[in-house]
A and B are shown apart, each in its own frame.
Chain A
Amino acid sequence: MSDETHSARSPLPVASLDDPQLQIAARFPRRTENIIALNFLLGLLCVGAFGAAFWQNWAPWILGLTFGAGTFFLGFGLIAWGKYLMPQGPFVEERHVLASTEAERDSMAAAVLQRGTVVVRRRKLLGGLLAGGLGIFGIVAAFPLIRSLGPLPKTTLTKTNWRRGSLVVDANGRPVRRDELQPGGLLTVFPAGYETNEETQAVDQTVLIRAQTGDLVTEPGRGSWAPDGYVAYSKVCTHLGCPVGLYEQQLKLLVCPCHQSIFNILDGAVPKFGPAPRPLPQLPLYFDDSGYLRAQRGYDQPIGPGFWERS
């Protein structure tokens, strides 16, 4: 059904100003008009003030206040106009059935099926091959988007720059001497030469803590890893990779600030609480002949969060 029944042949209906649906909602129209006019005036002034404030580069709170107030008054007036000074209705509109007639639906289906069958029945092989070609095209079209984006991971996820003999330095490149940290001290360290490299910082970052030598629990095979109470763990949380920089000195706990995984530094940074699944990998240390702290070798496992290839 369409609007043709309201064609020019039959005259359009005329409503009278007395119709109840055309009445406005305001009980005191003059007063309402005045209020709305006042709002518009205030809005105008405030928006103008915003313009001046912007030109003069005044503080953000002045800009926001003037602009916000201006648009508030304008909006308030406009809404009030629409609500109180316009015909209150209610008005009705017919919903025309969205669906087409049976006959039209049948003809649509027929158009696809019959014309399609005529073509495909005689050219089935062509159709099949075209479908195959389009499918492969679709897959291959994604290749530039995916494969060009980046390199394959290979071993990058498992290696850091810590090697046998790497000098332990802080963020300013200063090496660590035996008496520099006292028990309870903490320092973020990197292998020498990499302390300013923002790229490798993400995997190299290591937290160095000095504990009381007697407090440390020696893990099997790690007897020489913590000389003089100096113990070093990867700073990359094994949960989601946040730097575990929160050290509670008396509780001997490293807490990850992101999701509150808690690691005990005395027994190999085993997680005590929270979502982290694995201990923080430990970096074996030793003091060289000049008294500087170095790494015995790199980490014995991939640092940071888990991934599929991690065994």
Chain B
Amino acid sequence: MTRARQLRALLPAALLVAVGIGGLLSLASDAAAASSSGLSSLNGAGTEGTAHSPVAPVQPPNTGTSNSSVKVYKHGRLVAYGNQAIRYSYPPTSYVPAGQALYEEFCSSCHGTEAAGSTRAPNLVGLGPATIDFWVTTGRMPAENQNAVEAPRKPAKLSDLQALEIAAFVNSLDPSEPAIPTVNTKGADLAVGAELFALNCAACHTITGAGDELAYSTSAPSLRAATPTQAAEAIRTGPANMPRFTGNLTDAQVRDVVAYVTEEIQHQSNPGGLALGGVGPVAEGFVALLFGVGGLALVGFWIGDRS
């Protein structure tokens, strides 16, 4: 081929490259030009918010403390507080002697005679009776394995009454909050409970409440066995690695979450058949491959030849 012909052959290729580069350049310089939908609303309209508060100073909402709730006194002592959603009550002082005896037998060897804790166990003073009640009624305490990272739920060794007695004793050393909650789930809004659960609880306990293993040998337990009182206690006291929800959730919100747990999580609607453990696609994949594909492969094995 002559040089002229070679050049003529290259012409279309050169045109192509030129247009391609031109297109890319215009695309890049588009950055300087027109706006795009939705961005202006993001960049422009932010509430600047100056030093003044946007709302008039409000009454502190009902947040599960005696400072913000209706209080009940007896002989000058606070015995209960709360509202329609949750009523917090302190165990009667008559429980203290029995509680002291139980404490010395079951708890003092690790937590110390003054409940101030030791190298093996944390301080219990000033945590409120709800804390003690939660750990004992769920059977986590007395702990079996003191070297475990977390004490797991197990069948309770002490009865509910005994748990209250110990709580009464420990609370008497330094009366604190929160008191034992009694949740009134009537009138609970399950939709709100579901939303709150998804936002605050599902990250550890999973959205179906099945529980799972967290980091460094800690775990979030299953919610299937929790009573309403235990659920409310856990939310308000934040046991072990669970965060404490005090001012960040009102009593009505806690009631909604507890109702959602006890009514929905614990009575999951499974109209589709076997729930397969509620762990999601892991179990489903297992079933699909083993029974679905495996079963059909067996049928194929029957239909066909074997050699």
Contacts and interface: CB of A to CB of B under 8 A. Distances in A.
A129 B10 CA distance: 10
Interface in B41-58: 42-43, 46-55, 57
Interface stretch (B85-93, B101-109, B196-204): B196-204
Contacts, number: 168
A246 B242 CA distance: 9
Nearest to A154: B31
Given A154-B36, A170-B248, A243 B13 contact: no
Nearest to B49: A165
Contacts of A176: 248
A83 B301 CA distance: 12
Interface in B1-44: 5, 8-9, 11-13, 15-16, 19-20, 23, 27, 30-31, 36-39, 42-43
A260 B215 contact: yes
Q: From A83, A245, A273, name the one whose CB has the most chain B CB atoms within 10 angstroms.
A: A245
Interface stretch (A7-15, A26-34, A101-109, A248-256): A248-256
Contacts of A64: 273
Given A163-B48, A166-B49, A246 B203 contact: yes
B285 to A, nearest CB: 18
Given A167-B53, A182-B246, A186-B245, 18 more contacts: A60-B271, A61-B273, A82-B303, A129-B12, A136-B15, A139-B23, A147-B27, A154-B36, A159-B42, A175-B53, A176-B248, A181-B248, A185-B248, A192-B49, A193-B47, A199-B38, A248-B241, A249-B244
29 contacts: A60-B271, A83-B303, A124-B8, A125-B8, A131-B12, A139-B19, A139-B20, A140-B23, A151-B39, A154-B39, A159-B42, A174-B61, A181-B244, A181-B246, A181-B248, A182-B244, A185-B246, A186-B243, A186-B248, A191-B46, A192-B54, A245-B203, A246-B214, A250-B240, A250-B241, A253-B215, A257-B204, A290-B53, A290-B57
